[in-house]
Structure 1
Amino acid sequence: MLDRLKALRTRPWLVALLLGLAAQTLFTVHLDRPSRIMFDEVHYVPAAQALLDREGPRNIEHPLVGKELIGAGIVLFGDNPFGWRAFTTLAGTATVLGAFAFLWLLLGSMRAALVAAILTTLNQSVYVQARTAMLDIFLGAFLLWAMVLMLWAMKGPPPQVKRRWIGAAVLLGLAVGTKWAAIPYVALAGFAFIVIRLRDARRAKNPLASALSGKDQPHWPGLGLLPGLLILGGVSIATYFATFFPAFFYERDPLTFARLIPLQQEMYALQTQVLARHTYQSDWWSWPLMLRPIWYFYEWDAGAQRGVLLIGNPLIMWGGLVAVLACLWAWLREHAIRPGAIALLWIASLGIYVVIPKSLGFYYYYHLSAIFLCLALAAAFHHFDRGRDKGREEWFVAASLLAFLYFYPILAASALSDAQGFRKWMWFPGWL
């Protein structure tokens, strides 16, 4: 199937356009279901409305970018479910296209890039988050595209390399301006830059000090190590603080330059406070096993019983764990760097929640890791197929589509038969 699209193999922009149209259509259909605020929209929609009204600080435990984008949707489409969620659908589409672009740049394979994009669309986490006015879909889109630009910057003329690198730093700043969970990724980006530079020097049998120079570098030519790190840190920090600009115009308790740093301290205190137990809380180790999904909504709405369950696609979520192991195997036994890098990315994305000081965890924190599982699956199929075009990934994509269609009614707030209609999808007691 995928390998027969020969005419599209050299037209990634056309393929990306078609993917984007398909994803945006999927995320937008029946976006007004449910017709009321659900789950954590109760925090972010009022905060976005307060920003628009310049009312004053609200939901200050998180920065402003996600709420600014939700507010933009309200300005364009009105204070209604479509307006609340309009920009999250765009972020969902950007996430799908980011997965495509990342694998295209990393592996140079149209088949792998398409598989990654389609699996990202079908992993269910992206679908639900793209239709919910929360922050994580923006976080994922910004971080994924920052990775794309960093990867794109690895090759090219020095002026283009620097522009792309600066673009990546801006996106990292916007990601941190959405949720502080992005901060470790800025550090990981800098660490990866250093490791690759040192590895290049070792492979070229040059002194390690040569990694500092931007000259004659196989990756990021023209970009010195220290200037690259300074740009990454400086531009991302400047972008982050620039996102607070609207808060200077609040009618009540407007932000000032003198209060900008104390505000960060207040945000940290709120982020690290010990919270009361929550019905849907879960520990980081349970997320890959999908032990505790979250009902975002389960009420009578628009003349029917409807529900929205944040639950991953079992085939992708559990199959993705096998793919991570396969990518690690390819790296350790066959020195396949690219699959290994994706596996390490998934491990790091989960490890972040082992160390950050949060008193409660929730399954939606796994959103980014779930995207990286889709990349790992595509990379594993690509690596172990070894160009033989056996089509195993096509069967996997088809099975994932069937699983998505099976869960669709409780992902999209479709009308259920009655108040107990949800039980047919509850495979385990923890899913109730």
Structure 2
Amino acid sequence: MPTFLRRPLAPALLLGLMAELLFAWRLTTPSILVFDEVHYVPAARALLALGGPANTEHPLLGKALIAAGIALFGDGPLGWRACSTLAGTTVVVGTYAILWLGLGRTRPALVGALCVLLNFTVFVLARIAMLDGFMAAFVVAGTACLLWAMRASGGAAWRRWTAGAVLLGLATACKWTAAPYVAFAGLAFLALRRPGRWRGMRPIAALAVLGGVSVLAYALTFLPAFFYAREPLTLATLIPFQAEMYARQVQVLPAHTYQSSWWTWPLELRPIWYLYEPVDGAQRGILLLGNPAVMWGGLVAVVACAVAWLRTRSVAAGCAAALWIASLAIWAAIPKSLGFFYYYYLSSIWLGIAIAVAFEVLRERLRYWDEMFLVLAATLFIHFYPILSAAPLSRPGAFQRWMWLDSWA
């Protein structure tokens, strides 16, 4: 590996540039609203106009970021999706940072980040105006900040820890499903605290900052709603509004074509067609599917990490396995009447981390297997690219060539 790539900043910048170019290429196709964009783009327009509440089942920040894109680039496909590409790039670079901070080596950090970049879920959600991409970006960046704090002491550690808490609060301000990660961060701090880690940070004070700052950051994102022309929020109605959001989150909804149970998501049994219709002069499709190499290979990696932790008490392996397991367990506990494959988005990101850690733990036995794995993942990305990117297809039935399972159709 060239010397300049062994330093953490240069690969991070190259990854960021590569990811942003990949996500932004042909971003304005399709030119129509896709899947849940029909909910979030109108809500972003309403927020930009400060007209009144819209899409009240979710907090404001994700819709505010879509609104920022509209304000910068106009009310069209570029404006709707521009900020989503930045969120996807943050996920890729943040994954690299997590692995570099956790393992101290560039190679596994690059392997994990490239697995995430080549995972179809990240690509598709980086090119659509939905909330999950923003939520994931803040969770990944917040996790990286908290690990960065682990390497510091005194004021630097506190500043990085506080930044991580802010980012986790902002993640929750996109979607509530990020809230458990604040608790995960606190538990990880208590479990991993050793001499030389988070030096000078007392547990009670650290947990108080984590909880207090994340809640404050979350609350401040509601500030635009205080200026609505119709039904503005007030300090008196801010907390009752949270109860209203909760009621909407747990309401019983009618059956949906693409609904699926949480236990099916790791197996990719029911992906989602975000688009499949003639648009912009051609038959086009967007399938939210994970890269089979990453999604299924990642499950093997989680098991390998769990076994490595049981045998050697490897902290990195234990954390990689626990992170994915906990991310899926959230959905087993959440009282929602319907589930969808895109809820698995954060878990699919953590699979990239598990793969990198597994190859690192087993690198003496699996020398160069990581390179072959990345070649496989890249090959599958190229193969599936037409139905991930809304590229023109030859005919309405063209999608069949990519349907490995009947349930994907």
- TM-score band, normalised by the shorter chain? over 0.9
Q: Please identify the structure whose Cα radius of gyration is greater.
A: 1
| 8 Å contact kept, 2:4–2:10 | no
Cα distance between partner residues in 1 of 2:151 and 2:14: 26
Aligned equivalent of 1:203: none
Q: CA deviation at 1:6?
A: 3.5
Aligned equivalent of 2:250: 272
Give the 3-state SS of the residue equivalent to 2:57 in structure 1: coil
Which one of 203, 212, 221 corresponds to residue 243 of structure 1? 221
Aligned equivalent of 1:418: 395
Aligned equivalent of 1:54: 50
- Paired letter, 1:46: P
Aligned equivalent of 2:147: 151
Cα distance between partner residues in 1 of 2:246 and 2:366: 50
Structure 1: 5+ residue stretches without partners:
201-216
Q: CA deviation at 1:283?
A: 0.3
Structure 1's consecutive aligned runs of 4 or more residues displaced over 4 angstroms after TM superposition are none
Q: CA deviation at 1:42?
A: 0.7
| 8 Å contact kept, 2:8–2:106 | yes
Deviations 1:64-116 (Å, cap 9, x if unpaired)? 11000000000000000011000000000000000100000101111100001
Aligned equivalent of 1:344: 322
Cα distance between partner residues in 1 of 2:179 and 2:143: 14
Give the 3-state SS of the residue equivalent to 1:395 in structure 2: helix
For the aligned residue pairs, the C-alpha RMSD in angstroms reads 1.0
Aligned equivalent of 1:43: 39
Q: CA deviation at 1:8?
A: 1.5
Aligned equivalent of 1:7: 4
Deviations 1:27-51 (Å, cap 9, x if unpaired)? 0000011110010001100000000
Cα distance between partner residues in 2 of 1:364 and 1:6: 39
- Paired letter, 1:277: A
The reply to whether residue 289 of structure 1 matches residue 267 of structure 2 is: yes
Which one of 273, 291, 301 corresponds to residue 313 of structure 1? 291
Cα distance between partner residues in 2 of 1:319 and 1:157: 37
Deviations 1:121-165 (Å, cap 9, x if unpaired)? 001000000001001111111001111111111122311000000
Q: CA deviation at 1:389?
A: 8.0
Give the paired residue count: 409
Deviations 1:359-412 (Å, cap 9, x if unpaired)? 1100000100000000000110011014x8821100100110000001000000
Aligned equivalent of 2:111: 115
The reply to whether residue 70 of structure 1 matches residue 66 of structure 2 is: yes
- Paired letter, 1:66: G
Which one of 115, 118, 124 corresponds to residue 120 of structure 2? 124
Aligned equivalent of 2:162: 166
Which one of 189, 193, 209 corresponds to residue 185 of structure 2? 189
Which one of 278, 301, 307 corresponds to residue 323 of structure 1? 301
Give the 3-state SS of the residue equivalent to 2:274 in structure 1: strand
The reply to whether residue 374 of structure 1 matches residue 370 of structure 2 is: no
Deviations 1:214-233 (Å, cap 9, x if unpaired)? xxx42111111111011001
TM-score, normalised with respect to structure 1: 0.93
- Paired letter, 1:140: A
The reply to whether residue 230 of structure 1 matches residue 213 of structure 2 is: no
Aligned equivalent of 1:209: none
The reply to whether residue 17 of structure 1 matches residue 13 of structure 2 is: yes
Deviations 1:279-321 (Å, cap 9, x if unpaired)? 0000000000000000001111111000000000001100000
Cα distance between partner residues in 1 of 2:42 and 2:275: 18
- Paired letter, 2:336: K
TM-score, normalised with respect to structure 2: 0.99
Cα distance between partner residues in 2 of 1:191 and 1:23: 32
Cα distance between partner residues in 1 of 2:2 and 2:130: 36
Structure 2: 5+ residue stretches without partners:
none
